[in-house]
């Protein structure tokens, strides 16, 4: 019998859902939530009933037979560091999400919505490759400030899925290869995948600037900015994440629009756009030194990987390190589904959150 899996990926103002039968997508929908609908809520977890009803309503529109579902899998959120892979959504995980030790983020709803739908049906609810999945060794954690320890913060879900895809296409296992995987989206992260583990990464605020992120900046400048008296904490954070990068320089984060401006002769847009490509290549070069052994490939993924212009800018600077392979797109719904499918098929075992 085929497995039917519902995948759920909550964002700040939307909830993406997709229904799969084994590897085949039956439908995928992005449910938009207006600011008026969300304004009455405090923490993201308070939106659980509202979002669950929205998901069930959409599934009813799609004539989905809930009794045929095998499992529900949600996006793993901003939890205290967890291992990569799948986890059953249990009571310990729910208590943690509702507690005060977890970063408040819409992705935390993935586990809660999955459980709300799965539990009445008597089927498992999972999360897979949570945002905070951390496989760093002790060496990668050390910083120049003893008070701060590095941990992984990257696009774990999509990059690991693309690592598995690369391996499968070559008849091997993800654990056979050394890969640099750059997720190029609204935020950019670059991760080192050594024999199936993310052993180091450059986060979206620690490396290249991106369509909406400022990327790495001199710490002294940030300190001066914070104490200038000109900005609130929230305003500084928005300059770093959401209002930085291409958006700050050019007034838009839309790569197609920027490329049209470049084609029309906008030299400033060309400089900024090429600088982003330059910084992506620089980040790839930075992280290549952490591997024990040769690098098999550099994988470029995420929405910006659809841009031939950016890909050419990056490739010409990094293809001497390893061959460049393209898997454009976010791929998050497929990645969630395939993770749950491996668990249902007994290829992986879901962990218990303690």
pLDDT in tens, 264-306: 999 999 999 999 999 999 999 999 999 989 999 999 999 999 9
Q: Can you give the pLDDT at residue 136?
A: 95
In-domain check, residue 218: yes
If asked whether residues 188 and 290 sit together in one domain, one would say yes
Let me know if residue 153 belongs to a domain.
no
The mean pLDDT of the chain is: 95
Q: Same domain for 21 and 53?
A: yes
Report the 10 Å Cβ neighbour count for 69: 18
Q: Answer whether 236's CB lies under 8 Å from 226's CB.
A: yes
Picking from 120, 145, 180, the residue whose alpha carbon sits closest to that of residue 320 is 180
CA 296 – CA 261 distance, rounded (Å): 36
Same domain, yes or no: 111 and 180 = no
Q: What's the CATH number where 120 sits?
A: 3.30.420.40
- At 122, the pLDDT band (50, 70, 90 cuts) reads very high
231 pLDDT more than 90: yes
Mean pLDDT of the 171-196 span: 97
Residue 47 sits in the same domain as residue 81? yes
Mean pLDDT score, 195-217: 96
188 and 286 share one domain = yes
pTM > 0.85: yes
Please check whether residue 293 lies inside any domain of the structure.
yes
Tell me whether residue 156 is in a domain: no
Cα of first residue to Cα of last residue in the chain, in angstroms, is 32
Q: Clarify whether residues 315 and 228 are in a common domain.
A: yes
3-state secondary structure of 30: strand
Q: Token digits for 147?
A: 């008070």
Tell whether 196 and 248 lie within a shared domain.
Answer: yes
Q: What is the mean pLDDT of residues 224-246?
A: 95
CA distance 18 to 279: 34
In Å, the largest CA–CA distance within the chain is 63
* Position 81 confidence tier, pLDDT thresholds 50, 70, 90: confident
- Residue 354 DSSP code: -
Structure tokens at 161: 């899925």
Mean pLDDT of 238-261: 96
pLDDT of residue 43: 87
The 10s digit of each residue's pLDDT in 45-56 is: 999 999 999 999
> In whole angstroms, what is the distance from residue 112 CA to residue 259 CA?
40
pLDDT given at position 102: 86
- Closest by CA position to 44, among listed 113, 100, 116, 109: 109
- Residues 202, 122, single domain; the answer is no
Looking at the predicted structure, is the pLDDT value of residue 78 above 90? no
CA distance 302 to 304: 6
Q: By percentage, how much of the chain surpasses pLDDT 70?
A: 100
212 and 121, same domain (yes or no): no
CB 96 within 8 A of CB 353: yes
Domain count, the chain: 2
pLDDT band at 70 (very low <50, low <70, confident <90, very high): very high
The range of the structural domain enclosing residue 51 comes to 4-133+333-352
Regarding whether 339 and 318 lie in a shared domain, the answer is: no
* 197 confidence band (pLDDT: 50, 70, 90): very high
């Amino acid at each position: 019998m085929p497995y039917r899996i519902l995948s759920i990926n909550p964002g700040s103002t939307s909830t993406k859902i997709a229904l799969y039968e084994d590897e085949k997508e039956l439908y995928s929908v992005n449910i938009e939530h207006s600011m008026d609908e969300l304004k009455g809520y405090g923490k993201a977890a308070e939106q659980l009933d509202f979002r669950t009803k929205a998901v069930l309503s959409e599934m009813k529109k799609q004539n989905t037979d809930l009794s045929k579902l095998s499992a529900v899998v949600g996006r793993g959120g901003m939890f205290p560091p967890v291992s990569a892979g799948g986890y059953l959504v249990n009571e310990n995980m729910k208590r943690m999400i509702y507690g005060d030790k977890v970063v408040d983020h819409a992705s935390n709803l993935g586990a809660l919505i999955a459980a709300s739908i799965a539990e009445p049906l008597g089927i498992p609810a999972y999360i897979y490759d949570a945002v905070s999945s951390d496989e760093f060794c002790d060496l990668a954690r050390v910083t120049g400030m003893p008070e701060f320890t590095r941990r992984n913060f990257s696009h774990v879900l999509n990059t690991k899925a693309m690592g598995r895809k690369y391996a499968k296409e070559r008849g091997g296992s993800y654990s056979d290869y050394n890969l640099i995987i750059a997720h190029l989206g609204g935020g950019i992260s670059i991760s080192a995948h050594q024999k199936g583990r993310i052993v180091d990464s450059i986060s979206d605020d620690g490396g290249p600037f991106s369509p909406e992120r400022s990327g790495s900046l001199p710490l002294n400048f940030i300190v001066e900015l914070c104490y200038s008296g000109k900005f609130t904490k929230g305003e500084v954070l928005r300059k770093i994440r959401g209002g930085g990068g291409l958006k700050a320089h050019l007034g838009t984060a839309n790569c197609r629009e920027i490329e049209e401006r470049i084609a029309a002769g906008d030299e400033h847009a060309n400089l900024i756009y090429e600088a982003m490509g330059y910084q992506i290549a620089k980040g790839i070069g930075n992280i290549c030194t952490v591997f024990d052994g040769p690098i098999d490939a550099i994988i470029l993924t995420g929405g910006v990987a659809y841009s031939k212009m950016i890909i050419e800018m990056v490739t010409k600077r990094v293809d001497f390190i390893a061959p460049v392979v393209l898997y454009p797109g976010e791929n998050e719904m497929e990645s969630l589904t395939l993770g749950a499918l491996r668990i249902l098929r007994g290829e992986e075992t879901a962990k218990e959150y303690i």
